[in-house]
Amino acid sequence: MKKQVQVTGDHGLGQMVHIVHVSEDAQELRAFYERVFGGFVYMGVDEPNYQLLEDRYATLLMIGDLCIETMSPKMPADPGLPVGRFYTKFGRHLHSVGYKVEDLPGLADRLLKKDVYIGRPGGGRLTALDPETLYCFPSPRDTAGLLVELSVLDMPGDPRDLDTWSSLAPMWRDHPLTIERFSHVTVGVKDLDTAVKTYVDIFQAIPVAKGTDPDLRAEYQTLQLGDCLLQFAEPQSEDSDLGRHVARWGNMIYGFRFLVRDVDSAEAWLNRNDVRTTRIREGLVVTNEEDSFGAPIFLGSEEIEGDPFAAA
């Protein structure tokens, strides 16, 4: 059975197509996710895909119901092109999220009317969306620091779109990480209220839960945007991993979390595979970002109050 996708907003924001993770070697990063997280690679098994327009390499893989695109600029990185510029500035780091949109011209028109800068594929600014345009990027300056790709396309061969999708679930549930499903993306922000207002206003995101996480030392609010959750988190102090990230980079994607059945098993597996971890509390562990290519990856057994995907 195919994955059942939830859609939000007037313009049909649906499946989160992927999270993009940038490093200097897309294939090395792909191998890490495959070896440690049981990633199911469906593009770039033997060699990565090369795109001339952006002078970059990429692979695609599934971990549970999350698609990750590993990406690298052709080295040496060209700072005049988007991927090269990102790597030159941020190095190994999570890059963006992508969404399938049923009515991309309608959503783009909504964003433009709200004075959101939209980049055209390959660079430059859009003042109106050509109906033939397949994807675009609102500026992260206008989207609380999160780079969001909006697309009319599915990823070719995406396992979630195939009738065999439901048969893949045991691959991750029976893995030592015991992944049940993707939980959420975390975006570090300087001003939580402003970030939340931005997403509710321009993207029609749906508030799910808010509160304080004393262990992560952050105020947070979780929103549903299409078929996934985004958690915006404002650090209470610079003396924390999130606080240092926000102090250095400002508003920007920080990490992501999987819901797992057995945190002890997940932690032990990561450590056996040379990934150091921090046990934040009984039900939550996080990778050392130096061992996970610049991205803190959280694995926890804790459910989010009001999670619309809890029974999915």
* HEC sequence for the chain: CCCCCCCECCCCEEEEEEEEEECCCHHHHHHHHHHHHCCEEEECCCCCEEECCCCEEEEEEEECCEEEEEEEECCCCCCCCHHHHHHHHHCCEEEEEEEEECCHHHHHHHHHHCCCCEECCCCCEECCCCCCCCEEEECHHHCCCCCEEEECCCCCCCHHHCCCHHHHCHHHHCCCCCEEEEEEEEEECCCHHHHHHHHHHHCCCEEEEEEEECCCCEEEEEEEECCEEEEEEEECCCCCHHHHHHHHHCCEEEEEEEEECCHHHHHHHHHHCCCCEEEEECCEEEECCCCCCCCCEEEECCCCCCCCCCCC
CA–CA separation, 263 and 146 (whole Å): 28
Confidence of residue 140 (pLDDT cuts 50, 70, 90): very high
* Mean pLDDT lowest among 12-21, 94-103, 113-122: 113-122
pLDDT at 247: 97
pTM metric for this prediction: 0.96
pLDDT 10s digits, 274-289: 999 999 999 999 999 9
122, pLDDT greater than 70:
no
Tell me if residue 176 falls in helix, strand or coil. Answer: coil
- The identity of residue 228, as a single letter, is C
Q: Which residue has the higher pLDDT, 204 or 310?
A: 204
Find the radius of gyration of the CA atoms of the chain.
18
114, pLDDT greater than 80:
yes
Q: What percent of the chain is predicted at pLDDT more than 70?
A: 98
Average pLDDT of 205-218? 96
pLDDT at 205: 98
Average pLDDT of the residues of the chain: 95
Alpha-helical (H) ranges within 91-222 are: 104-113, 170-173, 192-202
Average pLDDT of 283-297? 98
123, pLDDT greater than 70:
no
CA–CA separation, 240 and 54 (whole Å): 35
The answer to whether the CB of 100 falls within 8 A of the CB of 192 is no
* Mean pLDDT lowest among 127-131, 247-251, 296-300: 127-131
CA–CA separation, 212 and 220 (whole Å): 6
Q: Sort residue 178 into left (φ over 0), alpha (ψ -120 to 50) or beta.
A: left
